[in-house]
């Protein structure tokens, strides 16, 4: 089983995967390889679109998410995390608060501990 490093076409994150898994993901997303977080965001977008009169195809959902990832020049992991947070808020019905600035929230200092 050969492991290959592949880069997400939305956010730019890299993952090490088998060629079979890469092919499987590309088959689901119109030939584009998406990391796990971006693929969940695209699935959510497509599912939300199914509630619209004309629906949202997977291709449209991929393009919308790629546009979202390309709008900001910040760290791709931060952008994806923000998108996932927004998606979870929508699912839970919590749309009341505006997300804070990511530059301060995700800044790391020497005293910050990650577990």
Exposed/middle/buried for residue 65 (C-beta within 10 Å: 0-12, 13-18, 19+): buried
- Domain span holding position 14: 3-94
User: Residues 70-86: pLDDT tens digits?
Assistant: 765 566 667 677 777 88
In a domain, 77, yes or no: yes
CB 69 within 8 A of CB 79: yes
In a domain, 21, yes or no: yes
Q: How far is CA 104 from CA 73, 100, 108, in A?
A: 15, 8, 9
pTM of the model: 0.56
In a domain, 106, yes or no: no
Question: What is the number of structural domains in the chain?
Answer: 1
User: Residues 9-64: pLDDT tens digits?
Assistant: 888 888 999 999 999 999 999 899 999 888 988 888 888 766 655 556 888 888 88
Find, among 99, 45, 106, the residue nearest to 74 by Cα.
Answer: 106
- pLDDT of res. 94: 59
pLDDT bucket at 97, cuts 50 / 70 / 90: low
**Six token digits for residue 30:** 């119109």
């Amino acid at each position: 089983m050969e492991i290959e490093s592949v880069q997400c076409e939305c956010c730019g994150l890299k993952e090490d995967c088998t060629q079979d898994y890469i092919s499987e993901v590309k088959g689901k997303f119109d030939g584009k390889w998406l990391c796990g977080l971006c693929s969940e965001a695209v699935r959510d977008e497509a599912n939300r679109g199914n509630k619209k009169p004309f629906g949202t195809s997977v291709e449209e959902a991929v393009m919308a998410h790629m546009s979202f990832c390309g709008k900001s020049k910040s760290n791709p992991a931060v952008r994806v995390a923000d998108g996932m947070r927004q998606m979870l808020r929508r699912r839970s019905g919590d749309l009341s608060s505006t997300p804070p600035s990511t530059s301060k929230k995700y800044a790391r200092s020497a005293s910050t501990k990650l577990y």
